[in-house]
Amino acid sequence: MSKPNTSHDPEPQWAAFIAVDWGDKKHHWKLREVATGKEEAGVLENRPEELDRWAGELRDRFQEQPIALCLEQSRGAVVYQLSKYQWVTLYPVHTTVAARYREMFYPSGAKNDPLDAAALLDLLVNHRGKLRRLDPDTAETRELQILVEQRRAFVDSRTAWSNRLRTCLKEYFPQVLSWIEDIDSPLGCDFLEAWPSLAAVQRAHPGTLNKFFLSHNCRSQRRIQERINGIYQATPATRDAAILAAGPRIVSALVAAIRPLTKNIKELDQRILELVQAHPETDLFAKLPGAGPVLLPRLIVAFGTKRERYSCADDLESYSGIAPVEVKSGRLRWVHFRRACPKFLRQTFHEFAAHSTAKSAWAKAHYDLKRSEGKKHHAAVRSLAFKWIRVLYRCWRDRIPYDEQLYLTTLQKRNSPLLRFLATNAEWTTVAGFQKLSPKKA
């Protein structure tokens, strides 16, 4: 589900306000009629049929007049089920906001589902001007967002399994990690499936090993021969019978866990590519330095298609968590890292900024400048991401694709402080009578 809308559209004439404290088994709800002020509460089983029946009763009762509904969820099963009712407007509330609002009335920490629903209803009725209505993006953008987030989750899972595999191999078969660098690749998994131990692979015929590597697109005969020689010259890392017996079994199990993740990631990549190629925003981000096939779709969903969502670049910088938080109390003032934010969105901008330093002269200069000022690596990358968001927001708002050369020329005209660091990373050349900045060749 996309981010809430920040536009201040006029409110409709609400027929009722409803708060839902959703749960894994049951949903507690509380309702207030606008006309009479009458309140009522109830409990719903967490089943689509039960929720549909309840929504049908509300529709008939209020004759499809607008209803404002508040809940602690901006995406998930309950939101997806409620989004199909056009006469229901959803107001998602962050869990931290809901918890602290409840503590205003129950400082003792008392908590139960009916109390939570009542607090949410009070928040909706009296402070909905501070809340944001949920305004979903296009179906294609939301599908792309779900897929890129799940892809990252699969990659993280594969990395965790791969780390366990490497740890296990280091105990009894560490040589294979030097023969095959990417041990979680199809080459590595097939090798370990055929020969899960040093003793097993040393029993194989050299011709069999040569044929195996050739079948996995290993075209360097020199590299193949080095691997084969290394296999026959290797000595066992341990002679502990327990480790030699358990190790291959554990490795086989880990390989079996890694294989489907690799297959699933490849299938997701194919669908993501199809969505990116058809997405109307692709051209705006396609030529960004450092935005490859993985980061490009993530940047597309980071901005979406609705220009009214963010009134300025500051909104996106704060929402994404890239902008720091300023705290003032009396004479004290300090700035700290923003933690309450969509973590995947912040991660997207952070990783893009880091990758851009290898492809963009001004991005590398900005990073070097911040490092020279004493900032640590991640702080310097966040500072660069902050600047990138401002640049990309302007491109996105005006629907103008990013042009690296145009931005570099603008920096020169403004005599930007980055020019001192740009001089070490790039050089000006004359092309058709115009000054052009290009990265220096190594």
Does 142-276 match 16-136 at the fold level? Answer: no
Instruction: Summarize pLDDT for 157-201 with one digit per residue, the tens.
Output: 999 999 999 999 999 999 999 999 999 999 999 999 999 999 999
Task: Give tens-digit pLDDT for 248-261.
Answer: 999 999 999 999 99
Compute the distance between CA of residue 157 and CA of residue 165 in angstroms, rounded to an integer: 12
Residue 67 confidence (pLDDT): 95
Report whether pLDDT(4) > 50.
Answer: no
* Cα dihedral 240, 242, 245, 251 in deg (nearest 10): -90
CB 63 within 8 A of CB 72: no
Would the pLDDT of 71 be above 70? yes
HSE-CB for 148 with a 13 A CA cutoff: 26
Angle between helix axes 241-278 and 186-194 (nearest 10 degrees) is: 150
Tell me, yes or no, if the pTM score tops 0.85: no
Q: Is the pLDDT of residue 52 over 60?
A: yes
**Across 383-402, average pLDDT:** 94
**Dihedral angle sign, alpha carbons of residues 78, 83, 85, 91:** positive
pLDDT at 230: 95
Work out the average pLDDT over 375-385: 94
**β-bridge mates for residue 88, sequence order:** 67
Q: Could you tell me the residue ranges of all domains in the chain?
A: 16-136, 142-276, 285-402
Predicted local distance difference test score (pLDDT) of residue 410: 85
Burial (Cβ within 10 Å: 0-12, 13-18, ≥19) of residue 246: middle
Secondary structure of residue 310 in the 3-state scheme: coil
Distance CA 404, CA 286 (A): 12
For 269-307, what is each residue's pLDDT tens digit? 999 999 999 999 999 999 899 999 999 999 999 999 999
Average pLDDT, the chain: 88
Question: Would you say residue 442 has pLDDT above 50?
Answer: no
> What CATH architecture applies to the domain 16-136?
2-Layer Sandwich (3.30)
What kind of architecture, by CATH, is found in domain 142-276? Orthogonal Bundle (1.10)
